[in-house]
């Protein structure tokens, strides 16, 4: 009998903790249409990003990735934590990230063949440059500085 009381009390504590956790998150819904990778926040809808680019006269950086891509994770951990990269991207580009498995149409439209793929577009949506595969931080920084000027 004492075991059952203990089990019942333990379940009650667990359930109340779960309910409390749900209640505390209820007032702060996640921001839709955005994705933050390390220190960089991206749109997840290319049409919104292209509209913002046209309005602001900025080029677009399209980052095609997947959750299961090891090279994507390496690129994100190294590059999207670099202060110079973060500053240059945030000040000079409209950023959009697409998940190649979750956004099949977008992947097809951008002709993504593998991940990671970095695509640069002008403010009208015309491709400027494409980098298929992993690139190191220094090379990436040189590329974005070149496009930003």
**In the predicted structure, residue 4 carries a pLDDT above the cut 80:** no
111 occurs within a structural domain: yes
5 occurs within a structural domain: no
pLDDT for residue 5: 56
pLDDT for residue 10: 47
CATH of the domain at 42: 3.40.30.10
Number of domains, the chain: 1
Summarised one tens digit per residue, pLDDT across range 64-119 is 999 999 999 999 999 999 999 999 999 999 999 999 999 988 989 999 999 999 99
53 occurs within a structural domain: yes
Q: What is the pTM of this model?
A: 0.75
118 occurs within a structural domain: yes
75 occurs within a structural domain: yes
1 occurs within a structural domain: no
27 occurs within a structural domain: no
2 occurs within a structural domain: no
Own/partner pairs, 36-41, CB within 8 angstroms, 24+ separation: 37/63, 37/65, 37/76, 37/80, 37/97, 38/76, 38/77, 38/80, 38/81, 39/80, 39/81, 39/86, 40/80, 40/85, 40/86, 40/89, 40/90, 40/95, 41/95
For all residues of the chain together, what is the average pLDDT?
Answer: 83
Range of the domain at 128: 34-148
């Amino acid at each position: 009998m004492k075991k059952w009381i203990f089990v019942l009390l333990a379940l009650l504590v667990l359930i109340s903790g779960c309910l409390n956790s749900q209640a505390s998150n209820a007032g702060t819904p996640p921001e839709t249409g955005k994705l933050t990778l390390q220190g960089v926040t991206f749109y997840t809808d290319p049409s919104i990003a292209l509209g913002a680019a046209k309005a602001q006269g900025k080029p677009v950086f399209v980052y095609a990735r997947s959750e299961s891509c090891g090279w994507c994770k390496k690129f994100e951990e190294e590059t999207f934590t670099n202060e110079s990269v973060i500053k240059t991207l945030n000040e000079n580009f409209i950023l959009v990230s697409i998940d190649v498995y979750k956004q099949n149409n977008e992947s097809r439209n951008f002709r993504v063949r593998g991940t990671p793929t970095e695509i640069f577009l002008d403010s009208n949506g015309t491709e400027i440059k494409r980098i298929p595969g992993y690139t190191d931080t220094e090379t990436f920084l040189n590329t974005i500085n070149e496009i930003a000027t």
